[in-house]
Amino acid sequence: KQKKHKAVQLRRLRKGSLRQALMSGLKAKSGRSDLEFNEASSLAARKMSQTPLKERGGYPLVRAKGSKDPAKWMTKNGKEVIVDFSRAAWLPDDWGQGVKITNKTSHSTGGSGGTYTVFMSPEGNTFYHKHAAEAFAGRSFDFKDGFKGQLRVAWLNGQQIQTDNDTDKSFFKLLSAHERRNLPKKSDLHFCVVSARRTRTPEAVKDVAMVEAAFRRAGVTPT
């Protein structure tokens, strides 16, 4: 007889789940009744709130001496800016990215809006557009400026979307005793990850870094 296996249901987070949870939380906290948003899952909301600011993609990779503490980011009008989970592909290592809620005005249309993504200089200045940030810095920003940042975002995503029950143990429960007996030894398995430097787009770099993060979590160390 063929053995029937009980289905193992895993709770999973997807890439972008924590950022969506952050946005939903900001909109709910704003108290604005004109904004539309989907409430984040309890898993995403909990994971988002438990993630330290330093482990979010928008946190500066390098903190210069005297730079503004990201935990205290604010606009010039005193609006709180929260460290984002995402990061623009061109953003320099010593800059950061945050999100803020917008004020309701007579021109506000509500709906799915209500938040701004902003770029924070080391000094703590807030910018809403790339060209304004470049004008402040006195130079242009490009993919080379944000390369390390994109690798870090991908690495963090790879770590953060994993759940406690997303393990080998869960997978092995799906196999029969016969199938488990025929599994190869770990030493018989060999993997290859293509170097991120061989990619040509920010998204491809992030994809490779996420694969490496998954391997490291499983105990596989690249050489």
Q: What is the pLDDT of residues 130-180, one digit of tens each?
A: 999 999 999 999 988 998 998 888 888 877 766 555 566 777 888 888 998
Let me know whether 191 and 124 are in one domain: no
pLDDT band at 101 (very low <50, low <70, confident <90, very high): confident
Token pair 């500066």 is found at: 60
Work out how many domains the chain is built from and give that number.
2
Let me know whether 65 and 123 are in one domain: yes
Let me know whether 37 and 90 are in one domain: yes
Size of the chain, expressed as the number of residues it contains:
223
Q: Is residue 177 part of a domain?
A: yes
Q: Give CA–CA dist 184/191, Å, rounded.
A: 14
Q: Which domain holds residue 126?
A: 17-142
Cβ–Cβ < 8 Å for 129, 121: no
Handedness of CA 173, 175, 181, 186 (dihedral sign): negative
| Of the residues 87, 107, 142, the one at which a domain ends | 142
Closest by alpha carbon to 145, among 88, 97, 196, 98? 88
What Cα–Cα distance (Å) separates residue 136 from each residue in 42, 88, 89, 103, 157? 40, 17, 18, 25, 30
Residue 65 pLDDT more than 70?
yes
Q: Is residue 104 part of a domain?
A: yes
Lowest mean pLDDT among 50-54, 66-70, 167-171: 167-171
E strand or H helix that includes residue 177: helix 177-181
Let me know whether 126 and 195 are in one domain: no
Residue-wise pLDDT for 172-189, tens only, equals 888 888 998 888 887 787
Closest by alpha carbon to 45, among 19, 27, 64? 19
User: Residue-wise over 172-186: b if at least 16 C-beta within 10 A, else e?
Assistant: eeeeeeeeeeeeeee
Q: Is residue 222 part of a domain?
A: no
pLDDT, residue 33, reads 57
Cβ–Cβ < 8 Å for 80, 100: yes
